[in-house]
Amino acid sequence: MFEVFKKELLELVRDRKTLFFVLALPMLIFPVIMGLVAFLGSQAALKAEQKVHTYYIVNEQNSEQFAERVFYHKSFKKYDGKHQFLSIEDLKQAVQSGAIDVGIYLEADPTQTIEQGEQASWQVVFNDAQSINFIYDRLKSIANELSDSLREQALVALGVDKSKQAAMLQPILVSKVDTADKRENIGEKLGAFIPYLLIPLVLMGASYPAIDLGAGEKERGTLETLLLTPVTRTQLVLGKFLTVLLSSLACATVTVLSMAIWVSVAISFVELDTIKSAFSSVTGVDFMLIFALLVPIAAIFSSLVLAISIYARTFKEAQNYMAPLSMGVFLPIVISLMPNMVLNAKTALIPVTNVALAIKEIVKGTVDYGLLSMIVLTSIGLAALLLAFCVRWFSKETVLFR
């Protein structure tokens, strides 16, 4: 078995393409993804923040104060075209055609409606399909400032002192006391996406060598020679399995180390104190726990991809089988993102989903070590079953020479 393992490992080390995908890519993927997302996000936010929007107000006479505040706001410029827009439909067409960015319809004068005990209904017409859009929030903020001023004047006219207006408008003030710390709050939001990077990379680390050790041997015609050696089928499978597992674990090790390094780098450079204080509490033990969860997952993937590779006739056919497998791995990860999906005794038995949930709990700092042990044992049991199936698969002549 170990002679087969050494032989396959030597061939794996000589394959530069496989080494790149197993070792180099995991080291590069985290800084590239983090840097690209941060750069694109900051650029998009900066562009949206600095953009000046063309506006048109219908019935401007209903609130000259509002119109004046919008006119002098740095984010808006008044429409200077020749067309006139008189209704909501006109504003919609103008926005859709690109003549204006936002239209504002002032249906009534708030100084008059407030005396009648009614609300003035205003409408903002704009395209809200953009991912980052400050139009509505800025206009609403201007309207709220004016609304607060009118309300204060109306209450003073009714004889209500300014110091008592807050209590009258909101007699009960409810505030929340959150028992979760910053790490748990941020970990709940960001920790769920870490498995999206880790688990597929572990599968990738097993797929490339497995294809070559199974379908590649068939295509090169070296499998028959290997079967003539005085080694049992079980030993042959175990030797190949150990090679694939080592490749997958190497990918997992490099991935976790890369994540740890780049998280520490991000913490040292990021200016957000909340994120810095949250992730600074993620220790080396936490990263070791994440790696410990990835080991049985690597064994599961190694057994599965080796069985698929043994079944495939050619290298290309094996690659075709790996594509739907890669897509299938994302399904249990997506399940872990579903609302109210938490790690418990039931979800700890769901393959891949349990690891994704456990990684999130580790990042949050709320991991249950009993459930963690259950996940490891369950994953090891599943990996053993798949390995036994792979040995049986390899023992069938109809599979090896189909």
Work out the pLDDT band at 236, boundaries 50, 70, 90. Answer: confident
Nearest CA to 290 out of 191, 188, 190 is that of: 191
Residue 120, pLDDT above cutoff 80: yes
pLDDT at 79: 92
pLDDT at 105: 94
pLDDT at 395: 79
Region 165-193 average pLDDT: 77
| Cα–Cα dist 391/358, whole Å | 30
Residue scoring higher pLDDT (140 or 11): 140
pLDDT, one tens digit per residue, over 14-50 is 666 666 666 666 666 656 666 676 667 667 777 777 7
Decide: residue 225, CB within 10 A, 0-12 exposed, 13-18 middle, 19+ buried.
Answer: exposed
One-letter identity of residue 400: L
What are the residues whose beta carbons fall under 8 Å from the beta carbon of 337, sequence distance 6 or more?
Answer: 192
Work out the pLDDT band at 92, boundaries 50, 70, 90. Answer: very high
H-helix or E-strand spanning residue 308: helix 284-311
Q: Catalogue the E-assigned strands of 70-217.
A: 76-78, 102-106, 122-126
Nearest CA to 198 out of 386, 348, 30 is that of: 30
| Cα–Cα dist 281/319, whole Å | 41
pLDDT, one tens digit per residue, over 346-393 is 888 889 899 989 988 888 888 888 999 999 999 999 999 988 888 887
Sign, CA dihedral 127-133-138-144, equals positive
Residue scoring higher pLDDT (252 or 332): 332
Residue that has been written with the tokens 């030597």 in this structure? 10
**Which tokens sit at 4?**
């087969």
Residue 125, pLDDT above cutoff 90: yes
Work out the pLDDT band at 70, boundaries 50, 70, 90. Answer: very high
The span from the first CA to the last CA of the chain, in angstroms, equals 25
pLDDT at 307: 87
Work out the pLDDT band at 210, boundaries 50, 70, 90. Answer: confident
Nearest CA to 59 out of 117, 120, 115 is that of: 120
Residue 171, pLDDT above cutoff 70: yes
| Cα–Cα dist 235/227, whole Å | 11
Q: How far is CA 3 from CA 8, 9, 128, 208, 388, in A?
A: 9, 10, 64, 21, 20
Residue 279, pLDDT above cutoff 60: no
SS3 content of the chain, % helix, strand, coil (to 5): 70, 5, 25
pLDDT at 226: 74
Region 193-207 average pLDDT: 82
Percent of the chain with pLDDT over 90: 18
Residue 330, pLDDT above cutoff 80: yes
Residue scoring higher pLDDT (39 or 230): 230
